Structure 1
Amino acid sequence: MALCLVAGGAVVARLAGVAAFTLAWTHSVEKTAWEEDWTVTPRGLVVEQARVKGSGAGMDPPPGAQLVDGAWRWRPALPALNEMTLRRSGAVADWRLCIAGTCRPLGDYAPGEPDPLTLRACEDVSP
């Protein structure tokens, strides 16, 4: 499988061989780090864990979340998603996509900062 970034109905980046990734961002009001770990499967994108370093302004951890190393951690109860659409306003820092421990802004993968940008599992096409 691969992770595809789609804008305007067209694939703008195909990240071959990506089996897992972390989506990270900073909350626009609280200025608090938020991260979600995802796997790329034939069923779609599956969230494995969410982490937030703080609470407030609509980001309170759910019941059952555990405070570990200064971050609230939990597994969101979501089914596999066919796709995930991200809005990119320019008013806040870009989303960060972390693969194998290296984090980069989504703009590094999708030049021109298209909005919205959709993430989805796709076939791993070899050149």
Structure 2
Amino acid sequence: MTSLCIGLAGVVWVSLPLHDFTLAWQHSIEKIRWEEDYQVTPAGLVLGEARVRGNGAGMDIPDDARLRDGAWHYHRQLPPLQPLRAGRTPEAGDYQVCAAGRCQWLSDWLGPPKQDVAAVDFWACERPQSDPLRAAQP
């Protein structure tokens, strides 16, 4: 079963049994929320819809974006990302992973962003075949 792995340079820090998720963050200068919807596939992470609540420094809204519910919605045609690398520093803030109507900060799993580890990778990975909790049950 394909899951979402989070880590760096192929080292898994956390594995989440997700088929799709939203990656959300706040622009470090403009303080505007960005959201990107991904599907976790064996080929990698497939970007679906993206949303941004405004524009500003380095934040150009694509020409085909449509304003709906206070956010600009758009689609980008990208090949599956394997991995998706994101900058993560104390100055820039943290990311949220949202699924099934709930959002959780990366820092809940990884601790706060650190200056000496300035990035994090997201990629599709295989979940272990044996689940230690199931194996322990009769």
CA contact (8 A) 1:66 1:74 kept: yes
For 2:92 and 2:118, locate their aligned partners in 1 and report how far apart those are by CA, in whole Å: 13
Q: Higher helix share goes to which structure? A: 2
The one-letter amino acid paired with 2:85 is: T
Residue 8 of structure 1, CA deviation: 4.9
Partner of 1:51: 51
Partner of 2:86: 86
For 1:11 and 1:26, locate their aligned partners in 2 and report how far apart those are by CA, in whole Å: 25
Equivalent residue of 2:58, what SS? coil
Deviations 1:2-54 (A, max 9, x none): 000123542110112x0000000001111111100000001100000110001
Alignment TM-score, normalising by the size of structure 1: 0.91
Q: Percent identity?
A: 44
Partner of 1:99: 99
Equivalent residue of 2:15, what SS? strand
Equivalent residue of 2:110, what SS? coil
The list of structure 1 runs, each at least 4 consecutive aligned residues, that deviate by more than 3 angstroms after superposition, is 111-115
Aligned CA-pair RMSD:
1.4
Alignment TM-score, normalising by the size of structure 2: 0.85
Give the number of the structure whose alpha-carbon radius of gyration is greater.
2
For 1:109 and 1:76, locate their aligned partners in 2 and report how far apart those are by CA, in whole Å: 29
The one-letter amino acid paired with 1:124 is: R
Residue 112 of structure 1, CA deviation: 5.6
Superposed counterparts of 1:1-127, under 5 Å: 1-16=2-17, 18-111=18-111, 113=113, 114-125=117-128, 126-127=130-131
CA contact (8 A) 1:5 1:110 kept: no
Unaligned 5+ runs, structure 1: none
CA contact (8 A) 1:37 1:49 kept: yes
Residue 77 of structure 1, CA deviation: 1.8
For 2:22 and 2:101, locate their aligned partners in 1 and report how far apart those are by CA, in whole Å: 9
The one-letter amino acid paired with 1:69 is: D
Unaligned 5+ runs, structure 2: 132-138
The one-letter amino acid paired with 2:74 is: W
For 1:92 and 1:60, locate their aligned partners in 2 and report how far apart those are by CA, in whole Å: 19
